[in-house]
Structure 1
Amino acid sequence: MAASYRYLLFYKPYNVLTQFSSPQAEGSQESEPTLKDFISVSDVYPVGRLDKDSEGLLLLTNNGRLQHVLTEPKFGHPRTYWVQVERVPDEMALAQLRKGVMIQGYKTRPAKVRLLQAEPDLPPRDPPIRFRKSVPTAWLELTLTEGRNRQVRRMTAAVGFPTLRLVRVAIAQLTLVGLQPGQWRELTENEVRSLVQWSQSRAR
């Protein structure tokens, strides 16, 4: 393992682009918030993406081999999300998500899905979600092994329960614990060793 490799965990807030440069809208004097507004380390790159309207865990590194393993779908690394949806999914909807659903002409891989019995302990979102007072909401925990564009949102919509808030809470064995939105930290030596060993086992 080269000493020059860097590994960062970042808690991406809502409305932040997963890139270091901001595409400025035509005619606008303001640029959108990006990783550069929070992370001072140069020459590291996000592993995968989180949509602007999603929150949570982002791994950044300059280890190209690790980045490849963690973004190549065939290696199937797990990513866990807490998802607030409109209305309360029944067991049939949960079973559909577990087996895989058809979205945009392909069937998603089987996923681990459970209904959380209580709202998870998360910092409030800024701005808060928009919801209808007459419609209840629920929280799901989804663990996927693929990361297609807006996949979680499309999956919950496909079974009739639109996503209101989406937070990635784990990437493989790495979690959000100890971080607040906008904060980042270096991985510990043990975390790096474990992540590299895991990626090597997947790449064999």
Structure 2
Amino acid sequence: MLHRHFIIYKPFGMLSQFASNDSKQQSKKFLGMLGDFPEETMAIGRLDEKSEGLLLLTTDGKMSDFINSKKVEKEYYAQLDGDITTEAIEQLKTGVKIGLNGKKYQTKPCPVVKLTEEPALPARSKKIRDARHGPTSWVSITLKEGKFRQVRKMTSAVGFPTLRLVRIRVGNIALNPMQVGDVIEVKEFMV
């Protein structure tokens, strides 16, 4: 079977799935709105509705399993509420306790860097509060694990809740220079 692979820039406010039988989700936006994908296409990992950025789609389950494994890095840019401290960055780097399925989970050590300037990202469809409401800061967080809402939970655990979350890289595949809603079909993923 010849598999198909897609790289997309998932917009804010869209679910990382193609359809839902849940009556509460019928008014939601789904990935199928971005293009005509084969019926067996699946998202590799997920980005929650309020997150945006790089999402890979494939018809190859083995490729999906490999990319979701702890062998492939996923990098995120997170805009945080407040000017994150050096101490908070060190906590994120070494791992923090987050809630996961009603239990405490210790995140694995990971690279975290405070960005010196705001990244050049497309404007988000829903405006984020501005500087009148206090300072914000940006960090890059690179994970090899992907627990439910992990980045958001990590930054909240150190006192700097996430205001905007954008996945910018999966392995060697980068978001730039894509725009929100772009879909690119590729022959294979080079992660």
TM-score (norm. length: structure 1): 0.86
Letter of the aligned partner of 1:180 in structure 2?
A: Q
**1:24–1:32 CA contact under 8 A, matched in 2:** no
Indicate the residue corresponding to 2:90 in structure 1: 95
Rg (Cα) greater in structure: 1
Residue 190 of structure 2 is aligned to residue 194 of structure 1: yes
User: What letter matches 1:21 in structure 2?
Assistant: A
Q: Which amino acid aligns with 1:19?
A: Q
What CA RMSD, in Å, does the superposition of the two structures yield over aligned residues?
1.7
Residues 56-135 of structure 1 mapped to structure 2, 5 A cutoff: 56-72=53-69, 75-104=70-99, 105-130=104-129, 133-135=132-134
2:11 to 10, 13, 18: 13
SS in 2 for 1:76: coil
The answer to whether the Cα contact below 8 Å between 1:22 and 1:33 also exists between their aligned partners in 2 is no
Distance 1:65 1:24 in 2: 28
Give the number of aligned pairs.
186
Q: Percent identity?
A: 38
Per the TM alignment, residue 130 of structure 1 is displaced from its structure 2 partner at its CA by 3.2
Of Structure 1 and Structure 2, the greater helix share is in 1
Which SS does the other structure have where 1:165 is aligned?
strand
Cα distance in structure 2, aligned partners of 1:69 and 1:12:
21
Contact 1:23 1:31 in 2 (8 A): no
TM-score by length of 2: 0.91
Per-residue CA deviation, residues 147-166 of structure 1 (Å, 9 max, x unaligned), is: 00000000000000000000
Give how far 1:39 is off: 2.1
Q: Which amino acid aligns with 1:181?
A: V
SS for the counterpart of 2:137 is: strand
Gaps of 5+ in 1: 196-204
Question: What are the ranges of 5 or more consecutive residues in structure 2 without an aligned counterpart?
Answer: none
Q: Which amino acid aligns with 1:96?
A: Q
